[in-house]
A and B are shown apart, each in its own frame.
Chain A
Amino acid sequence: MKRYVYINDNESSHELYCDNRISNRKYTVLNFLPKNLWEQFSRFMNQYFLLIACLQLWSLITPVNPASTWGPLIFIFAVSASKEAWDDYNRYLSDKKANEKLVWVVRQGIRKHIQAQDIHVGNIVWLRENDEVPCDLVLIGTSDPQGLCYVETAALDGETDLKTRVIPSACMGIDFELLHKIKGVIECPNPDKDITRFDANLRLFPPFIDNDVCPLTIKNTILQSCYLRNTEWACGVAVYTGNETKLGMSRGIPEPKLTAMDAMIDKLTGAIFVFQIVVVMVLGIAGNVWKDTEARKQWYVQYPIEGPWYELLVIPLRFELLCSIMIPISIKVSLDLVKSLYAKFIDWDTEMIDYETGIPSHATNTAISEDLGQVEYIMTDKTGTLTENRMIFRRCCISGVFYGNESGDALKDTKLLNAVAGSSPDVVQFLTVMAICNTVVPIKSKTGAISYKAQSQDEDALVNAAAQLHMVYANKTANILEIRFNGSVIKYEVLEILEFTSDRKRMSVVVKDCQNGKIVLLSKGADEAILPYAYVGQQTRTFIEAVEQYAQLGLRTLCLACRELREDEYQEWSLLFKEASSTLVDREWRIAEVCQRLEHDFEVLGVTAIEDRLQDGVPETIETLRKAGINFWMLTGDKQNTAIQIALSCNFISPEPKGQLLLIDGKTEDEVCRSLERVLLTMRITSSEPKDVAFVVDGWALEIALKHYRKAFTELAILSRTAICCRVTPSQKAQLVELLKSCDYRTLAIGDGGNDVRMIQQADIGVGISGREGLQAARAADYSIGKFRFLKRLILVHGRYSYNRTAFLSQYSFYKSLVICFIQIFFSFISGVSGTSLFNSVSLMAYNVFYTSVPVLVSVLDKDLSEGTVMQHPQILFYCQAGRFTVSLPFLAFFPLLYNRASESEYICWMVWSIFVPCNCCVCDHHTCLCLREK
């Protein structure tokens, strides 16, 4: 399962791996027609219409001109086929553009300008500043003497900040000219779509270096579709090309989502089909009986005594064709049309434009708008979704002293400022950790001002706060960090970075103080990842109190810690770390294990508290939507206390007397089980009381509950209108959505970050907030909005109207088809059950298209209630949500419907006949009359 990439070897890899031709096309010119037709005919409705159209070619049984079915059928197919073809053609054009772009590639030791599609695995590709990366490359050289380069990965993950990439240590210092001739082998896994991992090894061949294996990580790669920034040039070895790049692998179309209404329409179609078969059989038998008893006496019909062998089938088949109009062929086209209009209405809505950033709302998925009106559960992320994700450093606790408690802003606390001015060692150490324990890149502008490029908002807040407290992280050149504090410059050499993962919940750096040569481990992380590992004897009680106090205020807390390392301890560990870093299997787990060996016996320095303000209008939105009968679940990676605090401040849960919070916790299975049962019991008792009961569960207990007590937890999920799940991982978020979906609820997931993508894709409707954590969520979502408060309008206005309109339209489509069909059926009883069509082909087509389909499309503009009324009385949404329950048994709803249609047709027939039968006589002189014309 590995691939070996030989650098600069032009022959060997050509057959093994594909070239760099990107192809997003679904079809080719040759297979377009068969493939597209095959896809369209995989739908039951289309198969049905094709069968009908084929039967109509048999002139003995067709009641109407075959053109009246073939015409619309071909039209519908042509429309969807040309839409597909157009999309595919556009994809082809953009592929072509990317494929034919010229890039510099080394061929036979000389740099050449070739088309991007001719790059092969193992080729060395040269890039200039602001070039787009044509395929996945392993860096081997840059213009920077330290081997750094910066890339913008917006196209990959939507994050607009620059990321640093570094050449592997083995390639360090290779001469510019020699890079053309470099030889070696890269051992890397087969292509996958994980853009955060690349576990590979590099070995260069002599004369470049002795046969030493050098580990490669994602930091040593630049991936397809990124842009090279702030770097004069860079070159790299192509490892994955064409559709096998990380981006290419992660492309691919997700399963199309089906709305409740679509499912309903399919069910209804099925039911009508069954009914139709019954009608056909009854009429077929009646027709054959009538033929044998009556029609043979009617000399003017001249029935032959002996018919062909299929004679018995002829009349039923005729009725099948007559009744085929029962299933409206127009419904799919009309619905597609109006649905795309709903989507456009969302795009156009000026009230859903985020004026701060100018981002309008956007409906990526045009097919599911009516589901918005049926949402029952909303699963929301906290950070960046309910809050602004604009982190501000507010308070801190350094060695037991609380700063910022009075003013609410530690940066203005004179106590702290004095401590900084007096260079109190605890404070200085604390600020040092704040300033350098991170992966922030300082960028100096021409005016000398320093700005920071940070991947996480927390780090950004900490570095900025440290700078304001005169601990300025000034420069980073290769591994040397430069810090200015009170006029002096301190330099540190970064030895290792132990990166943050959501499992470890902390990150650390190992630095060497350039002044005294001491090696120090600096760590920051969640309280439960730091405080238990404090050295024996340190009093952590104040810190625990501080964490609690801050969490009560809804602040995000981080604990900072450090430990001095002995030289030999570090060296020993460093080898282990290096080994772990170069493993190909389970690298992340191995690294975590090795990190654990270093991250203990901390000296805890203090606690920081960062504020993340609520977005505008969040409490109102939640209140309104809850009135509309929508249940809210908060799924967050944050701490329990912070989550509860935020939940309280945004009306998510009510404070004590009115609301009640039930806790599910426990470390072992038994504890979780007991706690779950207790909560369930309380929930059952209080479910009748008008009390807001919510349960809180953390990731650990959730894991156990989902694994072992799924049934109990499901019951709890159904009983509870509100839930807060904290410390949950992305996959747990998705699991929770899955759980609610399996209970047949319509779920909507809303989030803003990469960790919400799975939940967004899992939910019936995914909404992404195009926020500060990049566009990853917004891109994966069905709808993207700028702010949480637009959700109210999205559901109550757009969702509700779309639902009503689609409901009306689909019901109407069935209605009009049934009406005309029943007229035909009634007519058959007075035309000798012989299968005569009352309408000629043109009238029938005109009825289906011009009289009943086109004018009714105007209903997309229909608003049953004004927007203001709906917003004021969100309870009205109950009807939309209930809509699907009343019809979940199609027959209950279907038969009254049929009965109505039947009686209606009866009235119509009766009226028409009563008027025309007597006046049939005077046709020829004064009046038109009901006359039968065939064909």
Chain B
Amino acid sequence: MDTDRERHRARETAFYLFTQQSLPACKPVLTPGWVIAIFLFMGVIFIPVGLVTLRASHCVVEIVDRYDIDCVPEPSRMDKVSYIQDDSIPKNCSRFMKVHKYMKAPIYIYYQLDNYYQNHRRYVKSRSDKQLLDGQKYHDTSYCQPVESNNNRPIVPCGLIAWSLFNDTFEFIREGAELKVNRKNIAWKSDRGHKFGKNVYPFNFQNGTLIGGGKLNPEIPLSDQEDLIVWMRTSALPSFRKLYGRIEEDLDVDDVVVVNLMNNYNTYSFGGKKKLVLSTSSWLGGKNDFLGHACVFVGCSSLTLAIIFVLLHALWRHELFTLEQEKLFRVIRTRSTYI
């Protein structure tokens, strides 16, 4: 009972304080001491974090190989587009990748496309999430324009994204023996589980006059077509990497990996680049120096500012602390809030 009443009273007083605009509040006054302490603290926090991040990034070993030009035979280089569009010419090509540093499994295989606008509005909208989940049961494919049906029969999966599926393939050989590439679990789990239907099979796909990218095995349900799932998670930026698979063996220094690839995908007509990337990962993910540099930079500048303020404070201490000046500071600070 008593506590109830007390609580009630407390609530009443709180409301009263609210109505009088006198709720307890703290107003940190940015005195030199506080400012110096805050900057010092930021410096102390950010520099180690940055260094750790940088180190993690440096541990990642990355091999990048651009192959789109080199895989076109010399005579065809003048007209790469007609080369890539000519189905009669075999497209196989071999590349050598030298490991310059020990790479610990798992080693991720990415293909990287540059100047490829997966974020173009026409492209990005041309898909039907409902159809991907429900298959032909879902009839409204108007979102998939202009690749929605062929011969009056719906295409599964419909839309430009699926139609332009990336179809270069890679095989890795080390010292004569093929490296095993794991191509399972490369797509998001949620995509596999909830976005792509388990009973939806490709239908009427790439049957039209215009053939875009890769074909799909009509025997495998969409939820298991992980290449497609990865491809359909469109990239926000015009150059991007997508996961191809994982090598689950360590690579030693000076190992030479022979890559046998099928150079099928047409990036020549719009001047795109194709690259193959092998990369290990750290606890922070792939190779990314920016985060580390940013942290170190912020930390260093905070520390510098702290030192400058300490010096200023030591020099002008007695003047800085007059009441009038503090008021002035406050006013100047307030000033900035006016429209």
* With contact pairs A297-B269, A299-B266, A918-B288 given, residues A926 and B125 touching in the complex (Cβ less than 8 Å): no
Interface centre among A345, A827, A834, A876 (most CB of B within 10 A): A834
Instruction: Give every chain B residue within 8 A of A865 (Cβ-Cβ).
Output: 330, 334
**Nearest-CB distance from B308 to chain A (Å)?**
23
Complex CA distance for A302 and B213, rounded to whole angstroms? 13
Q: Which of B15-23, B87-95, B217-225, B256-264 contacts A (4 or more CB under 8 A)?
A: B15-23
Contact with B along A857-892 (1 / 0, CB 8 A): 000010111000100010010011011001100000
Residues of B near A926 (CB, < 8 A) are 281, 285
Q: What is the minimal beta-carbon distance from A349 to any residue of chain B, in angstroms?
A: 7
Report if A873-B20 is in contact (Cβ < 8 Å); known contacts: A834-B120, A920-B235.
Answer: no
Interface size class of A (residues with CB under 8 A): 35 or more
Which residue of the partner chain, among A879, A921, A925, contacts B331 with CB atoms under 8 Å? A879
Residues in A whose Cβ lies below 8 Å from that of B241: 920-921
Whole-angstrom CA separation of A797 from B335 in the bound complex:
17
Contacts of A913 in B (CB 8 A): 237
A63 to B110, CA, bound (A): 31
The reply to whether B339 and A810 contact each other, CB–CB distance below 8 Å, is yes
* Nearest chain B CB to A635 CB, angstrom units: 31
In the complex, A811 Cα to B287 Cα: how many Å?
40
Q: Which residues of B contact A838 (CB under 8 A)?
A: 236
Report Cα–Cα, A294/B163, bound state, in Å: 20
User: Which B residues touch A934, using CB under 8 A?
Assistant: 124-125, 127
Instruction: Give the complex CA separation of A345 and B237 in angstroms.
Output: 50
Does chain A have a CB within 8 A of B67?
A: no
| Residues from chain A with Cβ under 8 Å of B266 in the complex | 299
Contact A879 B237 (CB under 8 A): no
Cβ-defined contact, A861 with B23, below 8 A:
yes
Q: Find chain A residues with CB under 8 A from B72 CB.
A: none
| Complex-state Cα separation, A318 to B242, whole angstroms | 29
Q: Kindly state whether residue B303 has any CB partner on chain A within 8 Å.
A: no
Q: How far is the CB of B262 from chain A (nearest CB, A)?
A: 19
Knowing A345-B19, A921-B243, the reply to whether A300 touches B123 (Cβ < 8 A) is yes
Q: Which residue on A lies nearest to B233, using beta carbons?
A: A931
A50 to B187, CA, bound (A): 42
Taking a contact as CB atoms under 8 Å apart, the answer to whether A807 and B120 are in contact is no
Residues A298 and B160 in contact in the complex (CB < 8 Å), given A865-B330, A893-B339, A915-B291: no
In the complex, A804 has a CB within 8 A of chain B: yes
Query: Quick one: CB contact mask for A823-835 with B, threshold 8 Å, 1 for yes?
Result: 0000100111011
Kindly state the separation between the CA atoms of A494 and B230 in the bound complex, as whole angstroms.
Answer: 105
- Within the complex, the shortest CB–CB distance from A155 to chain B, in Å, comes to 30
Residue of A nearest to B234 (CB): A932
CB-contact partner of A298 in B112, B117, B163, under 8 A: B117
Closest Cβ of chain B to A894, distance in Å, is 10
A919 close to B (CB within 8 Å): yes
A925, B20: Cβ atoms under 8 Å? no
**A835 CA to B333 CA in the complex, in Å?**
39
Asked whether A831 and B117 contact (CB < 8 A) given A924-B243, A931-B234, the answer is yes
Complex: chain B residue closest to A866, CB-CB? B27
Chain A residues numbered 909-935 whose CB sits less than 8 Å from any CB in chain B: 911, 913-927, 930-935
Across-interface contacts of A63 in B (CB, < 8 A): 121
Partner of A301, one of B117, B239, B333: B117
Interface members, chain A 176-209 (any B CB < 8 Å): none
A886 and B119 contact, CB distance less than 8 A: no
> A920 to B240, Cβ gap below 8 A?
yes
Q: Which residues of B contact A893 (CB under 8 A)?
A: 339
Contact B108 A832 (CB under 8 A): no
Q: Using Cβ atoms and an 8 Å threshold, which residues of chain A touch B287?
A: 918
Q: Is B20 within 8 A of A350, CB to CB?
A: yes
Please state if A915 and B288 are interface contacts (CB–CB under 8 Å). yes
Chain A residues 16 to 41 lying within 8 A of chain B, measured CB to CB, are none
Q: State in angstroms the CA–CA spacing of A834 and B164 once bound together.
A: 19
Query: With A880-B338, A883-B339, A915-B290 in contact, is A831–B120 under 8 Å at CB?
Result: yes
Which residues of A lie under 8 Å from residue B127 when comparing CB positions?
A: 934
Chain A residues, CB < 8 A from B333: 864
B214 is an interface residue with CB less than 8 A from chain A: no
Question: Contact: B108 with A931, CB < 8 Å?
Answer: no
Residue of B nearest to A303 (CB): B122
Separation of A349 and B117 alpha carbons in the complex (Å) = 60
Query: In the complex, which residues of chain B have a beta carbon less than 8 angstroms from the beta carbon of A807?
Result: 337-339
B286 x A932 contact (CB < 8 A): no
Decide: A922 and B20 in contact? CB cutoff 8 A.
Answer: no
B316 within 8 A of partner (CB): no
Chain B residues contacting A75 (CB-CB under 8 Å) are none
A850 adjacent to chain B (CB < 8 Å): no
Cβ-based interface call for A801 (8 A): yes
Counting CB contacts under 8 A, is A497 at the interface? no
Q: Within the assembled complex, what's the spacing in Å between the Cα atoms of A683 and B168?
A: 89
State the Cβ distance, B132 to closest chain A Cβ, in Å: 13
- In whole angstroms, what is the CA distance A932 to B119 when docked? 7
Q: Are A297 and B338 in contact (CB under 8 A)?
A: no
Closest to B271 in A: A297
In the complex, per-residue mask of A405-423: 1 if CB is within 8 Å of any chain B CB, else 0? 0000000000000000000
B281/A922 in contact, CB under 8 A: yes
Q: Is the CB of B119 within 8 A of A831?
A: yes
Decide: A348 near B20, CB < 8 A? Known: A830-B119, A925-B108, A931-B236.
yes
- Closest 7 interchain pairs by CB? A921-B241, A348-B19, A300-B164, A834-B121, A831-B119, A883-B338, A914-B290
Can you list 15 A-B pairs, Cβ within 8 angstroms, ordered by A? Answer: A297-B270, A297-B271, A299-B266, A300-B160, A301-B117, A301-B120, A830-B237, A832-B238, A834-B120, A861-B25, A887-B338, A918-B287, A920-B235, A922-B281, A932-B234
